[in-house]
Structure 1
Amino acid sequence: MVAPAKSSLRIESRSRTATTQRAHLAPAAIQGLEVLALPVTELSAYVQALVERNPLLDFDSDGFTVALDDVLQDDSERDDWAPSDGDFRPRLRMRQQEGGFDMGRVRDECCQTETLACHLRTQLDGAAASDVPRPLIHAIIDCLNDDGYFDGSLPALCAEVGCDGEAGERALAFVQGLTPRGVGARTLQECLLLQLDDGMPGAAVARLMIKESLEDLADNRTTRLMRTYHVNLDELAQIRELIAGLDPRPGSSFSQRKDTVYVVPDLVVERRGTSFAVRVAGELAERLVRHDEYEAWVQASGDADARAWLDEKRTEADTALANVAQRKRTLFRFGMYLLEAQYGFFRHGQAAMRPLTMQQVADGLGLHVSTVSRIVADKHILTPWGTYPLKHFFSTALPATGAGGGSALSSLAIKERIKELVAGEDARRPLSDATITEMLNAEGVEIKRRTVAKYREALGISRQSQRRR
């Protein structure tokens, strides 16, 4: 007889304790990071808001006083915008002549740019008499957009003025006869046709191509164009050059677009002989000061609430001053590091750009990578080669062998090399992406064809068939 098996139940209780660290930033540190992230264009508004809500803070007006002797002296040999003692602000100076101050210069510098409508109406004053009603011509001019195109309703304008459609066509043709050539057109084809002169070589064929095959011209369908219009490759290249010289936006030179964005650099790298100097633009830390006049008043009053209020405002003022000063120091350190890391760019330009990551900058400056991200965000730098966003200097690395000595190359430098290769290609036999890839591989750059195509598109370079002339 087999004895029954015994079952047992064992309960184990295990507890594990894990220790994690979480960093909590103090409010003052958070404010410092927020100030660091502000570009120079927003820093002024931030400081102005601080001054308005904190009576202990104010702008140092002593830094903006101008002596009368400095204003009256003849200083024509010096540059009006030359920086003095690190001050980025332009000098205030008025030129004195024998008959007094040159107010004409002030008028010329402050006058508004001539608009397209004003330019066209000026031509009406000297135009010969026409059977077209002038109010209709003025109405058509008012319906021109910033590019010079007529985007109004001609029948509606004729009904408003009280004339027939034929008068409206004559009025529009009259406006189209004014300068700049092409103004008053309703379509791109009409704009280009208005600018063609019959005396130009190949103008007759060019008119036909603009009317019938503008898309083929844009897509560079060379074979189809040659067969359709019975021209050889040289004649087609001449016609293409003629059409490319026309202005598709004849009114843009008079346009005052409201969406224009002006870039103010936060850092400036200046060339001084054989060396460079780094400067932080917008030196607001020297303009913002704290006044202590309230201290004696509150102490004399003996009001505890007033003393607590003053302590709060003093802490806020000291924190604001420290944050603005810290922003300037951090930007200067970043600028010095960038100058050293991208020294080849500052000396030789885009082709000498080196690969750089935010983590490398963070390790070099002893900062967190998120702090570097705040430094770079929405900020620009003025260099001897132009103004660039700070993000422009960060790029991925591609391996290089052979002539490159095994060192990595920046993707920006490779893009610059692709641009150089395309600029030097034969227009009749443009380089394909595969050919460019082979040329870069021969130079020691390890890159794939799809990467070359991606860089070419990022540079705004058309594909091989569209570049053929």
Structure 2
Amino acid sequence: MNLEMGLFQQQTMKLVMTQELRQAISLLQFSTLELSEYLEEQALENPMMEIEERNTDLKDEPVYNMPVMWNDEPSEIQEKEDQEMSSPFDRIKDDRERISDYLIQQIRFLPGDDDEKRVLKHLARNVSDSGYLEGTYEETAALFAVSEEQYEACVSKLQSLEPSGIGARSLKECLLLQLQRQTSRNPFAETIVNDHLEELAARKWKKIAKCLGTSLEEVQQVYDDVQRLDPHPGASFGGGDHPGHLLPDVYVERDGEDFIVRLNNDGLPKIRMNRQYRHLLENKEEGEAAEYAQKKYKQLVWLLKSIDQRQQTIRNITEAIVRFQHDFFKKGPSAIKPLTLKDVAEAADVHESTVSRTTNQKYVQTPHGLFELKYFFSAGMNNSTGEQTSTFVIKSMIKELVVQENKQKPLSDQKIAEFIKEEHDIAISRRAIAKYRGELNIPSSSKRKRY
């Protein structure tokens, strides 16, 4: 084997992803909230960039008007004064308020000494966004001089607050708290939830009825009552992954027989150039400070271009979706058609990955409600004439059949498949029905049976 050493020239092609390109891609996949937070961070890192404050007097300064919605909140001091003057029970809850904040407002009006209230506020801050109390007595005792009995008394007081079921340490406790607070208490329901919750959830009603010496109908009634309880009493508040109050990124509005797409110009902060650094650019000064200002200015310009590109991409892709799904926007969800990322990518002249990033966590306000953009994508199934029906429509058929079925003799997956074939001329397998039923969180026929 002959090994030679020498210099060789080789031409290769290599794609280098610049920091600017990575930034543009990141902005595209950010939700409006994430983008707002990102811009706040950028303003801290780039002294050339300022986020316009409310009620600013700098009216002569150029503002780069990126879409944003101002929340007219009172100052923190004024807000606290207002809260001390009014009852927390007669005001409308703000969707941005976390459940822990809501509990602390109620604690302020409870009788008790300061030491107890400090423990209660600590517990309130340890209530998760779904409404459950996290942590242990040992963790609390490490911070406060409380006995286990005092700790349990504080937990009970926390659990007496609104909403019902708050501060529970398990699903069982959460449901029991709600049952115990009902005007007409049902000891039988409380017994089943306390002793047979797993069997109740699994619909093993015959086993419960036999164990308690009661009828299937009575157990079934308890199941219905429990279904009306809230397993996540804190979820209606803001914070965490719960959206609380979703703002649309784009609007689709009717214009005669057509529809127009309008970007939400109230979703992102307004950006301003810092006046103290601006003079370094305008006076064309030299030196390290001027070079630094030029560098940060270029970063700001690129950021603004990236945001503008993001907004235009959202508009273009939404317009493509509207063209494909015109019947949906006219008639509603039952008229949705099969649509793929590839279809929209070709129509908007972008890559499929761009469509995927753009439609994730972006919401569109339509005449039929608020929808995530990715909602409009689904595969389809052909009938005998070659026409396609969206899987969403097929799921709607399944849901409607289950609603209308005889609850004493619920439809099997095979029966549902046969009905769709007979009524809509769509051949679909029993396994496909089972898959779609699972995606709809519809139990099997044996678990849907009523007595």
TM-score class, shorter: 0.5 to 0.7
**Residue 322 of structure 2: which of 315, 329, 339 is its match?**
339
Residues 60-90 of structure 1 show CA distances to partners (whole Å, capped at 9, x for unaligned) of 89997699xxxxxxxxxxxxxxxxx997635
Q: Is the 8 A contact 1:36 1:375 kept in 2?
A: yes
- 1:424 matched residue in structure 2: 404
Residues 328-357 of structure 1 show CA distances to partners (whole Å, capped at 9, x for unaligned) of 222211121111112233233332221111
Q: Match of 1:213, SS?
A: helix
State how many pairs are aligned. Answer: 406
**Residue 391 of structure 2: which of 402, 411, 416 is its match?**
411
**Residue 431 of structure 2: which of 434, 439, 450 is its match?**
450
Residues 189-223 of structure 1 show CA distances to partners (whole Å, capped at 9, x for unaligned) of 5665563599969x464455334433222111243
Residues 69-118 of structure 1 show CA distances to partners (whole Å, capped at 9, x for unaligned) of xxxxxxxxxxxxxxxx9976359799xxxxxxxx9699878997764466
In structure 1, stretches of 5+ residues that fail to align are: 1-19, 68-84, 95-102, 126-132
Distance 1:196 1:261, change over 3 A: closer
Residues 413-451 of structure 1 show CA distances to partners (whole Å, capped at 9, x for unaligned) of 222322222222233222222222222222222221112
Q: Distance in 2 between matches of 1:170 and 1:371?
A: 55
Distance 1:295 1:273, change over 3 A: same
- 2:62 matched residue in structure 1: none
Q: Is the 8 A contact 1:135 1:161 kept in 2?
A: no
Q: Is the 8 A contact 1:115 1:254 kept in 2?
A: no
Deviation at 1:313, TM superposition (A): 6.4
**Residue 355 of structure 2: which of 367, 372, 382 is its match?**
372
Letter in 2 for 1:379: K
- 1:290-369 alignment to 2 at 5 Å? 294=280, 297-298=283-284, 318-369=301-352
> Structure 1 stretch 237-246 or stretch 306-315: which is displaced more?
306-315
- 1:439 matched residue in structure 2: 419
Deviation at 1:26, TM superposition (A): 8.1
Q: Distance in 1 between matches of 2:283 and 2:217?
A: 88
Q: Is the 8 A contact 1:120 1:179 kept in 2?
A: no
In structure 2, stretches of 5+ residues that fail to align are: 1-10, 60-64, 75-80
Q: Distance in 2 between matches of 1:377 and 1:254?
A: 23
> Structure 1 stretch 389-398 or stretch 46-55: which is displaced more?
46-55
Deviation at 1:282, TM superposition (A): 4.8
Q: Distance in 2 between matches of 1:252 and 1:307?
A: 52
- 1:79-90 alignment to 2 at 5 Å? 89=69
Q: Distance in 2 between matches of 1:58 and 1:48?
A: 9
Letter in 2 for 1:407: E
Letter in 2 for 1:453: A
Distance 1:422 1:120, change over 3 A: farther
**Residue 365 of structure 2: which of 365, 377, 382 is its match?**
382
Q: Structure 1 length as normaliser, TM-score?
A: 0.64
Say whether residues 1:277 and 2:260 are aligned partners. Answer: yes
Q: Distance in 2 between matches of 1:153 and 1:53?
A: 42
**Residue 41 of structure 1: which of 8, 33, 45 is its match?**
33
Q: Is the 8 A contact 2:338 2:379 kept in 1?
A: yes
Q: Distance in 2 between matches of 1:138 and 1:308?
A: 53
Deviation at 1:38, TM superposition (A): 4.0
Distance 1:29 1:221, change over 3 A: closer
Say whether residues 1:400 and 2:380 are aligned partners. Answer: no
Q: Distance in 1 between matches of 2:230 and 2:426?
A: 40
Q: Distance in 2 between matches of 1:61 and 1:141?
A: 32
Q: Match of 2:252, SS?
A: strand
Q: Match of 2:283, SS?
A: helix
Deviation at 1:360, TM superposition (A): 1.0
Q: Match of 2:259, SS?
A: strand
Q: Match of 2:251, SS?
A: strand
Q: Structure 2 length as normaliser, TM-score?
A: 0.66
Letter in 2 for 1:451: A
Q: Is the 8 A contact 1:40 1:282 kept in 2?
A: no
**Residue 238 of structure 1: which of 221, 232, 247 is its match?**
221
Name which one, 1 or 2, has greater alpha-carbon Rg: 1
- 1:4-403 alignment to 2 at 5 Å? 24=15, 27=18, 32-44=24-36, 47=39, 89=69, 115-116=102-103, 119=106, 122=109, 124=111, 146=127, 147=131, 153=137, 192=175, 195=179, 203=186, 205-246=188-229, 252=234, 258=240, 260-261=242-243, 263-271=246-254, 275-282=258-265, 287=271, 294=280, 297-298=283-284, 318-401=301-384
Q: Distance in 2 between matches of 1:216 and 1:356?
A: 42
Residues 391-425 of structure 1 show CA distances to partners (whole Å, capped at 9, x for unaligned) of 22222222234xxx532122222223222222222
Aligned residues: percent identity? 26
Q: What is the root-mean-square deviation in Å for CA atoms of aligned residues?
A: 5.4
Q: Distance in 2 between matches of 1:239 and 1:53?
A: 58
Q: Is the 8 A contact 1:288 1:321 kept in 2?
A: no
Distance 1:190 1:47, change over 3 A: closer
Letter in 2 for 1:431: L
- Greater relative contact order, per chain length (Cα 8 Å cut-off, separation 6+): 2
Q: Distance in 2 between matches of 1:319 and 1:46?
A: 15
- 2:5 matched residue in structure 1: none
Letter in 2 for 1:350: P
Q: Distance in 2 between matches of 1:63 and 1:445?
A: 60
Deviation at 1:57, TM superposition (A): 6.2
Distance 1:308 1:396, change over 3 A: same
